[in-house]
Chains A and B, each alone.
Chain A
């Protein structure tokens, strides 16, 4: 059977800056037109040609891709890799510059939730308007109205203008309309990056439901755990090219190993903090070096299994002698949310002695039970209780799946893995049953 989506040699070119005529005003356009004979008159017109070449930018280059019916495909890549451009072309928002796409089925795309919401309209009115913008029939909206309402949980606010909604309610309403789309092909951008955590989970659940209904789904996300849980196939985009296609697992592996470490200064486990780009402007470089090790003192570069031990060696320079100084190491999500911090001040047996010059802290973390995914490592130094240095994104950690619980089961949602013990109660309370 023919693939449900056939992407053939798709390229998209953008012209950047004023030379491309993307922006500018009427006066410039008029001047440009009026000056055209003058330019032709000058023999060196090649200069302006060269300038034009420079401002060209290929957001996508020669992407070919087949999506089979029932596939759930993740499109992964760093920022600017062309993911959104690809989705925009598939959703027909913008034309490709070259190539073509054949779509054999009713498609709906969700690049954003709540598109077309009008603040002055009530929740009820916005459900109809937004549903219709997303391509739903009026009869379809009416049939699903109660379901949408129940999922959004906006209760009595149905007939209140949405401008009076809390931002949480607004997003819940917007998402639940989107979640009740029922196309053959669903194209979803990272719309889950909104709303509170509880609602995000509900949305992921709804997404998973969509994925099991033999629907074809294209999903762009930075949440690798979600990708792994929801998708069976994956495509890795890098600088506008599809550099890898395969199962979602393989794609994630490929992405972690080859693509996502782009731009991270060090590929070694010894990271120079002296010239780190992630330092705040107000700080002088006290921190010199960060060394990362995993179990058995193996150098830690990039990949770390879930729950594996981490040893961090932080070297720094004390300009003046002091007794109260502390180092810290923190783990953030790629979107910058702090997950946890290890701090030498948390150490009960810490001895405060007067020191100066180069010093080294060794931090042992017996287990780092973060969910599979990409994390940023930050390093800091406090003197006298004040932060004197902080390097953001000093290193990246890619936590990969491992048999943390000894059952082979690892959660796909949440941020960290909880140590837990379970047992059935011995009490005979179940006798009544």
Chain B
């Protein structure tokens, strides 16, 4: 039973690169974690997976009624409910991903204190599992578009790329928050306020072109504003500012890399601090 396998355990200092080889070795565990999260999320709920559709749908009805009818907000020619739902698809994913990822490590305390595995699998697993919800709500978007007899354009092909960008942004921030939450449980209380505030700083209910100039400067710094606009363009053919999409992508990549490194740096004390 001799193997050439050799492992050296020593103090890790400073910034660490991501060990992709190790993550590959543990890929089955990632699969099981994702599968567990999907199985558990809607366990003992009467509506089950329907909640993946209901969450953005209810938000759409509320915002559609409130902002569309009462405040008279307009999209860009597409029916306002469609306009809002198209933005809510990536946004709901992003907001849920931040909330769940932030609490993911603390929620897996027992596993972290008693076994070894790449810790990064915990927040990543949660985010992957939420990706399934996003796909379901995306499917429902198709149903809505059928109802409104809205035609798709060739831009639909951009969707995978936009999903990728949204996941990058969510993962970057999620990794950062999950690692910070291990040490400072304040994160748990801050995240809901943060996402609520960010919701209004993201062009979900309005088009970025309609935003006042001051707000538009903020939108450029928001990785989700380009994703939301991009989603709307891909699904509904809405007008899009490619500069905004580009800056959001760049910012998402930056967030992801920074999140990864921050996570790797904090990771080594998780078992002691959690």
Does A120 contact B44, Cβ atoms closer than 8 Å? yes
Does A91 contact B115, Cβ atoms closer than 8 Å? yes
Does A96 contact B272, Cβ atoms closer than 8 Å? no
Does A93 contact B116, Cβ atoms closer than 8 Å? yes
Does A25 contact B111, Cβ atoms closer than 8 Å? no
For residue B229, give the distance in angstroms from its CB to the closest CB of chain A: 33
Does B186 contact A116, Cβ atoms closer than 8 Å? no
Does A120 contact B40, Cβ atoms closer than 8 Å? yes
- List A72-103 residues whose CB lies under 8 Å from chain B: 88-103
Does A98 contact B11, Cβ atoms closer than 8 Å? yes
- List A128-151 residues whose CB lies under 8 Å from chain B: 128-129, 132-135, 137-138
For residue A131, give the distance in angstroms from its CB to the closest CB of chain B: 9
Encode contact with A along B101-125: 1 for CB under 8 Å, 0 otherwise: 0000000101111111100000000
For residue B190, give the distance in angstroms from its CB to the closest CB of chain A: 8
CB of A66 within 8 Å of the partner chain: no
Report A-chain residues with C-beta under 8 Å of the C-beta of B36. 118, 121, 125, 129
Report B-chain residues with C-beta under 8 Å of the C-beta of A17. none
Does A92 contact B116, Cβ atoms closer than 8 Å? yes
Does B3 contact A106, Cβ atoms closer than 8 Å? yes
A86 to B111, CA, bound (A): 18
Does B32 contact A105, Cβ atoms closer than 8 Å? no
Does A105 contact B186, Cβ atoms closer than 8 Å? no
Does A129 contact B114, Cβ atoms closer than 8 Å? no
Does A103 contact B116, Cβ atoms closer than 8 Å? no
Q: Which of A14, A98, A128 has the most B CB atoms < 10 Å from its CB?
A: A128
Encode contact with A along B22-59: 1 for CB under 8 Å, 0 otherwise: 00000011001000100110011000000000000000
Does A109 contact B271, Cβ atoms closer than 8 Å? no
CB of B7 within 8 Å of the partner chain: yes
A111 to B8, CA, bound (A): 20
A-B contact pairs, 23 of them (CB 8 A): A22-B272, A25-B186, A88-B271, A91-B116, A94-B272, A95-B10, A97-B11, A99-B10, A100-B8, A100-B9, A101-B9, A102-B6, A104-B7, A105-B3, A105-B5, A106-B5, A107-B7, A118-B40, A125-B39, A129-B36, A132-B28, A132-B29, A135-B117
Q: Which of A24, A27, A94, A121 has the most B CB atoms < 10 Å from its CB?
A: A94
CB of A409 within 8 Å of the partner chain: no
Report A-chain residues with C-beta under 8 Å of the C-beta of B117. 133, 135
CB of B185 within 8 Å of the partner chain: yes
Q: Which of A22, A101, A112, A137 contacts B114 (CB 8 A)?
A: A112
> Given A27-B186, A102-B9, 9 more contacts at CB 8 Å?
A88-B271, A92-B9, A97-B11, A98-B11, A105-B5, A106-B5, A116-B108, A116-B111, A121-B40
Please classify the interface of chain A as helix (H, G, I), strand (E, B), loop, or mixed, using the class held by over half of its residues. loop
Q: Which of B43, B110, B186, B272 contacts A120 (CB 8 A)?
A: B43
For residue B15, give the distance in angstroms from its CB to the closest CB of chain A: 15
CB of B21 within 8 Å of the partner chain: no
A261 to B83, CA, bound (A): 75
Report B-chain residues with C-beta under 8 Å of the C-beta of A198. none
Q: Which of A26, A94, A95 contacts B184 (CB 8 A)?
A: A26
Report B-chain residues with C-beta under 8 Å of the C-beta of A93. 112-116, 271
Q: A116-B110, A120-B43 in contact; A95/B12 too (CB < 8 A)?
A: yes
Residues of chain A at interface, number, CB under 8 A: 47
Report A-chain residues with C-beta under 8 Å of the C-beta of B39. 120-121, 125
Q: Which of A90, A104, A129, A133 contacts B9 (CB 8 A)?
A: A90
Q: Which residue of A lies closest to B43 (CB)?
A: A120
A214 to B2, CA, bound (A): 12
Does A134 contact B11, Cβ atoms closer than 8 Å? no
Does A115 contact B111, Cβ atoms closer than 8 Å? yes
For residue B257, give the distance in angstroms from its CB to the closest CB of chain A: 23
A160 to B176, CA, bound (A): 37
CB of B70 within 8 Å of the partner chain: no
A121 to B44, CA, bound (A): 11
Encode contact with B along A344-373: 1 for CB under 8 Å, 0 otherwise: 000000000000000000000000000000
Report A-chain residues with C-beta under 8 Å of the C-beta of B10. 95-96, 99-101
CB of A318 within 8 Å of the partner chain: no
A105 to B7, CA, bound (A): 8
Q: Which residue of A lies closest to B272 (CB)?
A: A94
- List B232-274 residues whose CB lies under 8 Å from chain A: 268-269, 271-273
Does B32 contact A96, Cβ atoms closer than 8 Å? no
A257 to B109, CA, bound (A): 38
Does B115 contact A133, Cβ atoms closer than 8 Å? yes
A103 to B29, CA, bound (A): 22
- List B160-200 residues whose CB lies under 8 Å from chain A: 184-187
Does B113 contact A104, Cβ atoms closer than 8 Å? no
CB of B157 within 8 Å of the partner chain: no
Q: A94-B271, A101-B8, A115-B110 in contact; A133/B40 too (CB < 8 A)?
A: no
CB of A340 within 8 Å of the partner chain: no
Report B-chain residues with C-beta under 8 Å of the C-beta of A102. 6-9
CB of B1 within 8 Å of the partner chain: yes
Encode contact with A along B76-118: 1 for CB under 8 Å, 0 otherwise: 0000000000000000000000000000000010111111110
